[in-house]
Amino acid sequence: MRTFSSLSLVFLLFSSLAYANPPSSRPTTPSNTPITKPPPLQLDIDPMLLRAKDGQVRNIQQLDLRELYQTAAKAYSLKKYDDAIKLYQAIRTYYPTHTYLYAAIYNQALAHEDKADLPAAITLYIEILKQPTTPANIALNARFRLAASYGKTKAWQPAFQLYDALLQTNLSEEDRIDALAYAGEALFFLQQHEQAQPLLRLAVALHLRKEAPIGKINYAAAMAQYYWARIYHLRFKQRNFRLPQAKMKEDLDDKARNLLRAQRLYLDTIRLRHAEWALAAVYQIGKMYEEMYHSMNTAPIPPELNNEERLIYTQELHKKIKILLDKALVTYYRNLLLAERIGMNKADWKQRTDERFQQLVLFYRRSFGSPPLLQELQQKHPSSRPTSLTSPSARPTSPPSR
């Protein structure tokens, strides 16, 4: 593909004006009608690039705006982002006053964003928004992409401020769901969970009211439902067991309540039918079971027990809470089957599930023997056998906790 940065000499041929000659014959008597010149004829000529060497023109290239734009768009669609960036820059350089200019800057920013050059993308999005003549639709998209780019760099405060400003404007239903969901996500990572929750809930409610009845699957709505569940998951995880036993019972009730609430919200995430967030939700359900096992296994032992009583207490506790590991294993296993069934074997959440599953199988074998529930599942799904079920060699020295 030709690049323009190497040209040693550039000449731009600007528009020329031509005037018609006056008629050869004139009236012989004066007329009260003034004689006027015809309007000028304006010819718009695309820029031409001349390559010169040693004072001699070696090559002349006629630029064509439409062809440049189409070639840049094709390069972007093929993920040839560097080529697309150069072509959009050519449009900006040689057509600085054309209406394509704003779209070229926006698409150039998108290419930088998609190649993970976020500082360059942010700079270009800000440049677009500073132009008072930027078309409204491009400015709107630039605000969303600027906020998203801030989110990708973990700059959650400016991201939230942009989404919050967008929510004060007249948005379409889909754009409002996006702004609510991503504003809630930003507040979640800013640890402002109480403020995040109503935004996430409203995003889901709007989707269920307008989009879900017609079968539409919305990434942002599923994400909002997921982070809504994560709020209760974190509340469950952060509550630790304390002595005396009255406090411990209070802690157990609180943890169980938040676990069940988070689990219900994760199941609601699955019902929104977005594949990526469904895998994430199932993974987190399995992880909650693991975390509950770890919390109960490391809970303080009543100090009044002697050594023999402490041993019996620990053995009985392990018998009682082993079911939590059974549930975690089955949940992870089913998530692996789900990923295979929907064709997402390379998805990040599938890989995370596989890692947790393998570590937990090894610990379970060390502590309790072969997992019986997994053997039953393997008989039902013989074509989907995770490698962990056939590799009993390496064993961890401590239980998986987080």
Same domain, 259 and 314: no
Contact in structure between 363 and 399 (CB atoms under 8 Å): yes
Contact in structure between 348 and 372 (CB atoms under 8 Å): no
Residue 110 belongs to a domain: no
Report the distance separating Cα 363 and Cα 380, nearest Å. 24
Same domain, 269 and 308: no
Residue 383 belongs to a domain: yes
What value does the mean pLDDT take over residues 182-188? 98
Show which of 254, 273, 292 is a domain's final residue: 273
What value does the mean pLDDT take over residues 253-279? 97
Please identify which residue in the block is written with the tokens 């000529």: 45
Who has greater pLDDT, 137 or 7? 137
Taking CA 264 as the corner, what is the angle to CA 190 and CA 271, rounded to the nearest 5 degrees?
95
Torsion angle (degrees, nearest 10) of CA 249, 254, 260, 262: -150
Q: Which H, E and C letters describe 174-233, residue by residue?
A: HHHHHHHHHHHHHHHHCCCHHHHHHHHHHHHHHHHHHCHHHCCCCHHHHHHHHHHHHHHH
Render 240-300 in DSSP notation, one character per residue: PP-SSHHHHHHHHHHHHHHHHHHHHHHHHHHHTT-HHHHHHHHHHHHHHHHHHHHHHHTSP
**pLDDT given at position 63:** 63
Residue 32 belongs to a domain: no
What value does the mean pLDDT take over residues 363-369? 90
Which tokens go with 363? 């610990």
Residue 294 belongs to a domain: no
Residue 221 belongs to a domain: yes
Same domain, 176 and 241: yes
Report the distance separating Cα 151 and Cα 158, nearest Å. 8
Q: What is the pLDDT of residues 110-127, one digit of tens each?
A: 999 999 999 999 999 999
Who has greater pLDDT, 44 or 237? 237
Same domain, 307 and 375: yes
Same domain, 171 and 251: yes
Beta pairing partners, 50: 60
**pLDDT given at position 113:** 97
Same domain, 219 and 309: no
Contact in structure between 8 and 53 (CB atoms under 8 Å): yes
Q: What is the pLDDT of residues 304-329, one digit of tens each?
A: 999 999 999 999 999 999 999 999 99
Q: Residue 380's pLDDT band (boundaries 50, 70, 90)?
A: low
**pLDDT given at position 100:** 86
Show which of 236, 252, 273 is a domain's final residue: 273
Which of 8-17, 45-54, 111-120, 248-257 has the least mean pLDDT? 8-17
The sign of the torsion formed by the CA atoms of 330, 358, 383, 374 equals: negative
Contact in structure between 382 and 350 (CB atoms under 8 Å): no
**pLDDT given at position 383:** 52
Contact in structure between 255 and 239 (CB atoms under 8 Å): yes
Residue 150 belongs to a domain: no
Residue type for position 257: R
Q: How far is CA 350 from the centre of its chain?
A: 17
Same domain, 328 and 263: no
**Residue 140: strand, helix, or coil:** helix
Residue 140 belongs to a domain: no
- Expressed as residue numbers, the domain containing 246 is 161-273
Residues 6+ apart with CB under 8 A from 376: none
Q: Please compute Rg for the chain using Cα positions.
A: 33
Give how far Cα 370 sits from Cα of 36, 159, 293, 317, Å: 101, 48, 18, 20
Share of the chain above pLDDT 70, in %: 77
Listed residue (190, 264, 252, 261) closest to 232, CA to CA: 261
Report the distance separating Cα 237 and Cα 295, nearest Å. 8
Residue type for position 201: R
pTM of the model as a whole: 0.79
Please identify which residue in the block is written with the tokens 């078309």: 135
Residue 121 belongs to a domain: no
Render 327-364 in DSSP notation, one character per residue: HHHHHHHHHHHHHHHTT-TT-HHHHHHHHHHHHHHHHH
Number of domains in the chain: 2
